[in-house]
Structure 1
Amino acid sequence: MAFFAAPFLLPDALFLVISPLKALTDDLKRRLRETGIAGGVWPSHEVHWDSAQLVLVSVHHAAGQDFFNLLQSPPIKFRLRRIFFDEAHKIPTDIMYRPLFGVIHHLYRTGIPIMFLSGSMMHRIIPHVLWIMKIDDFALVDEIRRDMGQPNLNIHHKELVKFISQQLSTLASHERGMIFTESRAQADQLGHELGIPVYHALLSEDVKTTAAIQWRNGVMPQDHFIAATEAFGAGINEPHVRIIIHSNPRSLTSYLQETGRAGRDGLPSYCFILHSHIPPPLSIKAY
């Protein structure tokens, strides 16, 4: 609501949304079309900067010098009112294998107000986000927080991977399920064994887009489930996700974010944990 409502409040202004995941960018693009808000995904020819209200930019492009130069040029500079960084918990959690998060601080140097959004950012992570963004004056930062719990979710612990196949027949035609795996190889294996769509970072853009569409349309019963890594885990807003299954989850932040895909229609939904081996001990991080 923060960035989709903004153009309705200030229709003549421009707003930018930075997205850390390809799947999230695709989902936001779909929702942008549904709202009728002028804009699109940059870089592309569909963005007309003199009339655009909301423009989506992947973090890969936002970290580049071309994007920084773009923000300094008219007509953008004088219309841009706010930059939204969606799923901002990814900034500290993914920086080790996505170094581009370490140079995204140039957004702060533009002087444009930035809003960091996340449904699973713990309070202790915020100083680390600010450190990466080179925001050293905490007086400039306001924190707005609400309870992250979802009382309509029923969380279960299961031990047998066979449980996945048992759930394929439990969903209504409009309902969906998601399986979050501990590795890309496991996602591929489940996709092969169960005949369900697969989504992870090593797949081509066309394959990932096709998998997401196949899952959303749900033509065949096996299409109602998708096997994915965290590449499909943040910000996906499908209202009727009824079942979330985790295989050997290791990160509490990712687990909280991914279970948050369920029950977005407010109806009771179910989250299952499948452990095939003893979880590793929790590592102690700087944040």
Structure 2
Amino acid sequence: MEDTRVLHTLKEYFGYDSFRPLQKKIIDSVFAGKDNLVIMPTGGGKSICYQLPAILLPEITLVISPLIALMKDQVDGLTANGIPAAFLNSSQTESQQQEIFKKIDSKELKLLYVAPESLQFVDRFMTDGKISLIAVDEAHCISSWGHDFRPAYTQLGYLKNRFPTTPMIALTATADKATREDICRQLNIPTAKKHIASFDRKNLSLDVRAGIKRFEQITNFVKTRKKESGIIYCLSRKNTEEIAEKLQRKGFEAEAYHAGLPAEKRIEIQDNFINDHSKIICATIAFGMGIDKSNIRWVIHYNMPKNLEGYYQEIGRAGRDGLPSDTLLFHSYADVVQLQKFASNSGNEEVQLAKLDRMKQYSEALSCRRKILLSYFGELKQEDCGNCDICKNPPQFFNGTVIAQKALSCIFRLKENEPITLVIDVLRGSQNEAVFSKNYQQIKTFGIGKDISWHHWQQYIIQLINLGYVEIAFHRGNNLQLTSMAKNVLFEGEKVQLAEVPDRKKLKRREENIVEENSSDNSLFEKLRQLRLKIAREEEIPAYLIFNDATLKEMEKSRPMTDDEFLQINGVGRQKMQDYGYEFIKEIIAFSKAKRTNKKRKKSNTYKATLNLLNEGLSLEEIAQKRELAITTIYSHLAKLYAENEAVDPLKYISKADFKAIEKAKAELKNPEGLKVYFEHFEGAIDYGSIRLALTVLEKQEAEV
């Protein structure tokens, strides 16, 4: 097909001047008569890959789609674009169906959407040559390895046998390696060209929290986003109604959506949301498939999803316009128990339980969450994303190369034939039947990790999976397999950074503290966050490299006002104190003054102690020695006392030459923020204490003018 004609069709019917990545390649393959498997994330433009060829191909295109609502949305969209399309399903009257059959006979239609259960209705019209293309949408539904298995899809294999010369295109937003292979096998398209788009949605922030005081956390989350649209996904219909009602009572525009509502009511709620009449939808996973609302700014999972495919598909409904959007996932042990019950009632219990376990591992991960998601879908990334809660608040890391080598070597020597539990047993030299029955006590890696606890080994191997060195073969008994990246660690000297496994009790306490977050625009945390953002932009570095959120929260709680106090904050080292301490302390002092917050704080007595010693005639060095504090801390006390109009004379402690030099630098450098700029300007010739003191005097003089 000529490129100019294809581009003209794209512009004419869909309004785009150019294709997104992969679209043109897929469309060319369809025109070449080849079978295709398309794995493309939500919002990536899958539909155009078969809708555009359908316009230009001579006969009708048959589209297999799982949901009536999804078919209706697609057909409405095509019709609005001037493309003749219809859908056929069991909910229609006989006269409605006859009308569609007439259009098929007269070749008036370009696309016909059919549910797999309704294929018999069009069977008499389908002969080889009358169909130009067969598209199987939501193709993961055919696979028992997939996250949304639908038995009716398994009959679709006959289509290729009946129409061997008709190209077939199978499309899905989410499918792991095992599911991709199964789709092609069951559809009888083993030689299908695989097109796998990047799963990296950089604009989505990823945040995971323990399911403690969830509604309180949700309220704090949405009250700063009142003008934005969002979805809250729940496991039960009851939860959707309860949360929607609670939000309404707090003044939010929220509605509940689930399959138990009348069809008219569901349509009304969906339309209200799409058209921005309501901002928040509290829904079961029945909501969202096929919705093309591009400005959903956030997605919250009130409960943990049953697998990573579903989770990825649901968060993918946020930020389809490419603008920054937030996702928040709550997880709890109760969710896991509930989902295990669901899995036990499914037709493929073992696979569903393994995928649920992988979802749980993601929720409890200590490494970049985006890397975990991408590696799950076979996309391996070396760099952390900087836009998830782990990257923004990283744990303590250590050189875990030897641990990684032991684990990877053990998996290799077990011939990639065992699941995580047995791999750990072999590493720890366990004397049990599972090990002895296969003579694994004979292999070289038996017992090489006996010094590490079972729980720690489990966490380290999960990290290796999350980092992309190992993958779980769900279709091979959940065995651990090495990825292409593993050889870099085993044979090429690549180093591996592993996160320290936190103490479980401490972790629980830390997660409970999350609910104390104050999202008010006027909170000290927000002031410090804005200051951090300003510095980050000036220095062109990620904000979390300055201080992470946990450090800012501790500053908010402790309100340090001296160098010594500032150094006690977790995440503040000497260099960061020198580089950023002046500005952050200044912000904290200003906030405390404005709010008149507890001026007689216990810690503020430290200034009075310094003042008393000054009045006794002691030098700054003598005070520092007597109080066992750093000299820079005493300088900061002096500056604070002077700023608060105590009877002290800072100029007694700075040479005239130094004061004049600092005054001149302040004018020349045009009031730079931070002591570091001055310190570097003087190449270390004037100490931080003198700089701080001189600037305090100059700022007060300016204020009095």
Query: Scaled by the length of structure 1, what TM-score is found?
Result: 0.82
Deviations 1:3-50 (A, max 9, x none): 23223433x432122222334223213322332101122246364222
What is residue 119 of structure 1 aligned with on the other side? 173
Return the letter of the residue paired with 2:308: L
**1:153 positional shift:** 0.6
Which stretches in structure 2 are left out of the alignment for 5+ residues? Answer: 1-47, 249-253, 341-351, 356-473, 476-705
Give the number of the structure whose residues are more often helix, by fraction. Answer: 2
**1:168 positional shift:** 4.4
CA distance in 2, matches of 1:21, 1:166: 35
Give the number of the structure whose residues are more often strand, by fraction. Answer: 1
Q: Is it true that 1:105 corresponds to 2:136 in the alignment?
A: no
CA distance in 2, matches of 1:185, 1:106: 41
> Structure 1 residues 231 and 53, CA, compared in 2 at 3 Å: closer, same or farther?
same
Which stretches in structure 1 are left out of the alignment for 5+ residues? Answer: none
CA distance in 1, matches of 2:224, 2:61: 41
User: Does the CA contact (< 8 Å) of 2:142 and 2:151 recur in 1?
Assistant: no
What is residue 51 of structure 2 aligned with on the other side? 4
* 1:284 aligned to which of 354, 360, 363: 354
> Structure 1 residues 68 and 243, CA, compared in 2 at 3 Å: closer, same or farther?
same
CA distance in 2, matches of 1:166, 1:19: 39
> Structure 1 residues 68 and 170, CA, compared in 2 at 3 Å: closer, same or farther?
farther
**Which is worse superposed, 152-161 or 200-209?**
200-209
Deviations 1:176-198 (A, max 9, x none): 21122123332233334335333
CA distance in 2, matches of 1:172, 1:32: 33
What is residue 191 of structure 1 aligned with on the other side? 244
> What SS does structure 2 have at the residue aligned with 1:55?
strand
> Structure 1 residues 191 and 59, CA, compared in 2 at 3 Å: closer, same or farther?
farther
* 1:269 aligned to which of 318, 322, 325: 325
CA distance in 2, matches of 1:283, 1:161: 28
Return the letter of the residue paired with 1:101: Y
CA distance in 2, matches of 1:184, 1:21: 19
Q: Is it true that 1:90 corresponds to 2:160 in the alignment?
A: no
Q: Is it true that 1:54 corresponds to 2:101 in the alignment?
A: no
> Structure 1 residues 237 and 84, CA, compared in 2 at 3 Å: closer, same or farther?
same
CA distance in 1, matches of 2:78, 2:176: 28
Deviations 1:188-227 (A, max 9, x none): 33334335333333333222212211211222xxx21112
Deviations 1:213-254 (A, max 9, x none): 1211222xxx21112222224332211111011122221110
**1:171 positional shift:** 4.4
> Structure 1 residues 154 and 16, CA, compared in 2 at 3 Å: closer, same or farther?
same
CA distance in 2, matches of 1:238, 1:162: 27
* 1:260 aligned to which of 316, 325, 330: 316
User: Does the CA contact (< 8 Å) of 1:40 and 1:54 recur in 2?
Assistant: yes
> Structure 1 residues 85 and 166, CA, compared in 2 at 3 Å: closer, same or farther?
farther
> What SS does structure 2 have at the residue aligned with 1:104?
helix
User: Does the CA contact (< 8 Å) of 1:23 and 1:236 recur in 2?
Assistant: no
Return the letter of the residue paired with 2:312: L
> Structure 1 residues 24 and 150, CA, compared in 2 at 3 Å: closer, same or farther?
same
* 1:238 aligned to which of 265, 280, 293: 293
Return the letter of the residue paired with 2:231: M
CA distance in 1, matches of 2:242, 2:117: 29
CA distance in 1, matches of 2:79, 2:218: 34
* 2:195 aligned to which of 137, 144, 159: 144
User: Does the CA contact (< 8 Å) of 2:88 and 2:113 recur in 1?
Assistant: yes
CA distance in 2, matches of 1:194, 1:110: 53
Q: Is it true that 1:38 corresponds to 2:88 in the alignment?
A: no
User: Does the CA contact (< 8 Å) of 1:179 and 1:228 recur in 2?
Assistant: yes
> What SS does structure 2 have at the residue aligned with 1:261?
coil
User: Does the CA contact (< 8 Å) of 1:23 and 1:232 recur in 2?
Assistant: no
**1:276 positional shift:** 4.3
Q: Is it true that 1:208 corresponds to 2:263 in the alignment?
A: no
Report sequence identity in percent: 27
**1:131 positional shift:** 4.3
> What SS does structure 1 have at the residue aligned with 2:215?
coil
User: Does the CA contact (< 8 Å) of 1:240 and 1:265 recur in 2?
Assistant: yes
Deviations 1:72-116 (A, max 9, x none): 3xxxx5442112122222322333xx4322323333333132211
User: Does the CA contact (< 8 Å) of 1:168 and 1:225 recur in 2?
Assistant: no
> Structure 1 residues 202 and 40, CA, compared in 2 at 3 Å: closer, same or farther?
same
CA distance in 1, matches of 2:125, 2:269: 33
**Which is worse superposed, 182-191 or 163-172?**
163-172
> Structure 1 residues 212 and 60, CA, compared in 2 at 3 Å: closer, same or farther?
farther
> Structure 1 residues 206 and 149, CA, compared in 2 at 3 Å: closer, same or farther?
same
Return the letter of the residue paired with 1:209: I
The higher-RCO structure (CA 8 Å, 6+ apart) is 1
Q: Larger C-alpha radius of gyration, 1 or 2? A: 2
> What SS does structure 2 have at the residue aligned with 1:37?
coil
**1:127 positional shift:** 2.4
> Structure 1 residues 198 and 273, CA, compared in 2 at 3 Å: closer, same or farther?
same
After superposition, the CA RMSD in angstroms is 2.7
Deviations 1:126-166 (A, max 9, x none): 22224444x2x62x322111211101111112342333344
CA distance in 2, matches of 1:238, 1:58: 23
User: Does the CA contact (< 8 Å) of 2:136 and 2:168 recur in 1?
Assistant: yes
User: Does the CA contact (< 8 Å) of 1:179 and 1:227 recur in 2?
Assistant: yes
CA distance in 1, matches of 2:257, 2:64: 21
Q: Is it true that 1:177 corresponds to 2:230 in the alignment?
A: yes
Query: Scaled by the length of structure 2, what TM-score is found?
Result: 0.36
> Structure 1 residues 122 and 216, CA, compared in 2 at 3 Å: closer, same or farther?
same
Q: Is it true that 1:14 corresponds to 2:60 in the alignment?
A: yes
Q: How many residues align?
A: 271
